């Protein structure tokens, strides 16, 4: 049990930095550290003249008074101190004081993963890591978690702020067990709420499956630059996160499945171990890259952590302020009321852990395969937009969300050859051989177009005679508009266009045939047979229905909202005006949400609901921004600002999806 002074007086709550200069449990608090306020306040501290500087974490007063939390902390910290993994920030001391519970860890000058992601982004934007780099980082984090789980330790609050990155992307995981997640906690005070598993909010203890959820949430943010759920598990709603292709066209849609499983609301539906999640990611990337020999990548490899060899079993390491890890003989692992105690017993408890090495071979192999697949995927991504000699056509080809199957004799060609048609990324461009003339050509990809025609305006302008009335056909699992007999100006070819509105834009397929040579009808039939194989991956087709009345109401709402937004966003950049500006924006989004709620929804009511939900989230984010600015809390302001960005990005995504129904909202 934690020992407290029997007659100690209750201490008033302390804010960030208010204890600088004080001495607690023998540690002199030199300065507060710039870390998000959550389960503790962090200080740079020293103890005596012979010791270097450390991180002194003063646990939140509510947690210090929680017997269940303090008992778990007392049990976990000695076992955590006994782990000799180079990717774990070492616990040097832990105990209770007149100010509450505390934990002392090594101090190192390095950025956190959160700071690295911020550096990759811009103002009001998220940053993301390239796929190979992200997976190198995640593999190391998974290895730390696997070792801890073998010792019956669970992190429980894994987040980007608790992961440090060295100069060579070596990772250092911190803050094991320093959380208590409840549905009523302030999300701007406890950033762990954005990453915690849903069951933890229901009062259930964290398990290894909770860490699977946390690792998946961190991985999702590393790859996409966005959180899987804006308000963490509190806004889960039992739905999978947005498809990764919504955030980056360079991420394979196949990654959605393992992430959806790892981020399931029910723990039993997730992978049982972090190693299983890593294997799922490895298998997905290997299949997507088309390489079947990636497992040979593990042969003959010597495992290293961030470019450094792991220390021999039984060796203790210490992390100093300059980032150098040194062997030390002993550390204090629990301190009741100030009496220092050595920890040989804690190390003895870990005596059986040497047998866990064989159990970790699966994770090591999975991580190696994952890195190999990431390297292959990186090559695939890098080459995706590179001009190359057209290779032989594989049976199935893909561009973004679009997949087609063509006969083997069809070959790749250089461009779509259609005036005014500009695809969002490099399209599928194929040509069929013909002995008499150049055969039919096909181009397919995503385009920017709005209803009711769902054809880009430059294409319409290039047609002689304009755009005819379309035929409604079935293509790609949904309804599509087919425009036949089109004659581009200055071209000797006939054109047929297929437009397929989806939840992620408009998929378009064009078939072009020569007017001379082989009969155009026969040539066109060959092309349409390939077009009929269209598959949409990572998005769903939507109905082609348009409501003019809803469009007028939505345009009016957005016009008024954008006027307030333009004015108050400018005020956000002026010192002293942030609280009122953010409050005005919160009120504007609240009014927009009320006006939209009073409007009859379009045919796709789900899109209407998504816009309303995005308005509500953005209103809450601006309210948090105002509160943080009012109390001059820079860390809370930064988190709220990220929440604002996420909310407004949700609005844009919802409006873009609505535009596929024929609207022009923005």
Question: What topology does CATH give the domain 22-106?
Answer: Phosphorylase Kinase; domain 1 (3.30.200)
Distance CA 527, CA 512 (A): 8
For the domain made up of 113-286, the CATH class stated in words is mainly alpha
* Lowest mean per-residue pLDDT among 42-56, 331-345, 541-555: 331-345
SS3 354: helix
Does the pLDDT at position 489 exceed 90?
no
* Lowest mean per-residue pLDDT among 143-147, 280-284, 328-332, 654-658: 328-332
Contacts 24+ apart (CB under 8 A), 618-621: 618/589, 618/644, 618/647, 618/648, 618/650, 618/651, 619/586, 619/589, 619/590, 619/593, 620/231, 620/586, 620/647, 621/646, 621/647
Quickly state the pLDDT bin for 217 (edges 50, 70, 90).
Answer: very high
Distance CA 366, CA 371 (A): 9
**In the chain, pLDDT over 90 holds for what percent of residues?**
11
Distance CA 647, CA 230 (A): 7
Quickly state the pLDDT bin for 208 (edges 50, 70, 90).
Answer: very high
How large is the average pLDDT for residues 133-161? 90
Per the rule left: phi > 0, alpha: psi between -120 and 50, beta: everything else, 632 is left
How large is the average pLDDT for residues 184-203? 62
Distance CA 454, CA 467 (A): 11
Does the pLDDT at position 603 exceed 80?
no
Per the listing, tokens 């949400």 go with 593
Beta strands 27-32 and 40-46, pairing class: antiparallel
**Orientation angle between helical segments 208-224 and 131-150, nearest 10 degrees:** 170
Quickly state the pLDDT bin for 234 (edges 50, 70, 90).
Answer: low
Torsion of CA 272, 275, 279, 285, to 10 degrees: 110
How large is the average pLDDT for residues 296-323? 37
CATH no. for 395-536: 3.40.1000.10
Distance CA 367, CA 285 (A): 12
Q: What is the pLDDT of residue 163?
A: 93
Quickly state the pLDDT bin for 593 (edges 50, 70, 90).
Answer: confident
Contacting residues for 119 by C-beta, under 8 A, at least 6 apart: 111, 127
Distance CA 278, CA 333 (A): 32
Distance CA 612, CA 551 (A): 15
Over residues 2-25, the pLDDT tens digits come to 333 333 333 444 455 578 888 888
Q: Does domain 548-661 have CATH number 1.20.120?
A: yes
Does the pLDDT at position 171 exceed 90?
yes
DSSP label at 17?
Answer: T
Q: What is the pLDDT of residue 138?
A: 93
pLDDT, mean over the chain: 73
Distance CA 161, CA 39 (A): 12
Q: In the numeric block, which tokens belong to residue 535?
A: 């598959």
Bigger pLDDT: 183 vs 399: 399
Quickly state the pLDDT bin for 70 (edges 50, 70, 90).
Answer: confident
Q: Domains of the chain: which residue ranges? A: 22-106, 113-286, 395-536, 548-661
* Lowest mean per-residue pLDDT among 1-15, 264-278, 356-370, 543-557: 1-15
* Lowest mean per-residue pLDDT among 56-60, 263-267, 302-306: 302-306
């Amino acid at each position: 049990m934690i020992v407290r002074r029997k007659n100690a007086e209750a201490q008033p709550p302390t804010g960030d930095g208010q204890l600088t200069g004080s001495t607690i449990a023998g540690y002199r608090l030199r300065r507060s550290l710039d870390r998000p306020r959550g389960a503790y306040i962090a200080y740079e501290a020293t103890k005596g003249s012979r010791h270097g500087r450390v991180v002194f974490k003063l646990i939140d007063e509510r947690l210090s008074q929680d017997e269940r939390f303090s008992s778990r902390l007392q049990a976990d910290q000695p076992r955590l101190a006994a782990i000799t993994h180079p990717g774990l920030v070492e616990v040097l001391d832990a105990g209770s004081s007149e100010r509450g519970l505390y934990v002392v860890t090594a101090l190192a000058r390095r950025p956190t993963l959160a700071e690295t992601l911020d550096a990759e982004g811009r103002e009001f934007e998220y940053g993301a890591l390239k796929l190979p780099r992200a997976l190198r980082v995640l593999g190391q984090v998974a290895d730390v978690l696997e070792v801890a789980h073998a010792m019956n330790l669970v992190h429980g609050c894994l987040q980007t702020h608790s992961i440090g990155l060295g100069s060579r992307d070596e990772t250092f995981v911190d803050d094991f067990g320093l959380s208590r997640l409840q549905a009523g906690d302030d999300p701007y005070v406890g950033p762990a709420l954005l990453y915690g598993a849903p069951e933890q909010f229901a009062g259930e203890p964290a398990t290894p499956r909770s860490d699977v959820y946390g690792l998946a949430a961190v991985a999702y943010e590393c790859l996409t630059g966005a959180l899987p759920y804006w308000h963490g598990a509190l806004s889960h709603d039992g739905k999978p996160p947005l498809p990764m292709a919504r955030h980056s066209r360079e991420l394979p849609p196949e990654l959605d499945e393992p992430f959806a499983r790892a981020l399931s609301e029910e723990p039993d539906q997730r992978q049982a171990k972090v190693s299983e999640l890593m294997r799922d990611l490895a298998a997905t990337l290997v299949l997507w890259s088309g390489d079947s020999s990636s497992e040979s990548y593990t042969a003959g490899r010597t495992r290293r952590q961030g470019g450094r060899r792991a220390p021999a079993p039984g060796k203790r390491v210490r992390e100093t302020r300059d980032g150098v890890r040194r062997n030390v003989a002993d550390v204090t692992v629990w301190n009741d009321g100030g009496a220092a105690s050595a920890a040989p017993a804690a190390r003895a408890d870990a005596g059986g852990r040497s047998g866990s090495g064989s159990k970790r071979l699966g994770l090591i192999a999975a991580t190696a395969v994952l890195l190999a697949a990431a390297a292959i995927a990186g090559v695939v991504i890098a080459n995706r937009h590179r001009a190359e000699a057209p290779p032989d056509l594989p049976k199935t080809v893909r561009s973004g969300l679009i997949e087609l199957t063509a006969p083997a004799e069809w070959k790749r060609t250089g461009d779509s050859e259609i005036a005014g048609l500009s695809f969002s990324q490099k399209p599928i461009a194929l040509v069929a051989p013909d002995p008499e003339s150049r055969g039919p050509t096909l181009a397919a990809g995503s385009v920017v177009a709005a209803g009711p025609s769902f054809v880009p305006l430059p294409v319409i302008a290039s047609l002689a005679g304009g755009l005819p009335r379309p035929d409604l056909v079935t293509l790609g699992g949904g309804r599509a508009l087919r425009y036949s007999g089109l004659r581009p100006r200055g071209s000797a070819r006939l054109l047929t266009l297929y437009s397929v509105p989806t939840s992620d834009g408009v998929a378009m397929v064009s078939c072009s045939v020569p007017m001379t040579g082989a009969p155009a009808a026969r040539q066109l039939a060959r092309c349409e047979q390939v077009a009929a194989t269209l598959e949409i991956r990572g998005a769903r087709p939507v109905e082609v229905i348009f409501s003019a009345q809803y469009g007028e109401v939505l345009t009016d709402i957005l016009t008024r909202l954008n006027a307030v937004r333009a004015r108050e966003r400018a005020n956000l950049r002026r010192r002293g005006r942030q609280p009122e500006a953010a409050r005005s924006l919160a009120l504007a989004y609240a009014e927009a949400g009320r006006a939209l709620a009073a409007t009859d929804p379009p045919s796709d009511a789900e899109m209407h609901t998504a816009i309303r939900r995005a308005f509500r989230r953005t209103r809450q984010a601006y309210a948090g921004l105002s509160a943080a600015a009012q109390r001059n809390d820079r860390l809370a302001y930064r988190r709220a600002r990220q929440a604002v960005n996420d909310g407004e990005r949700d609005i844009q995504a919802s409006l873009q999806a609505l535009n596929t129904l024929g609207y022009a909202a923005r």
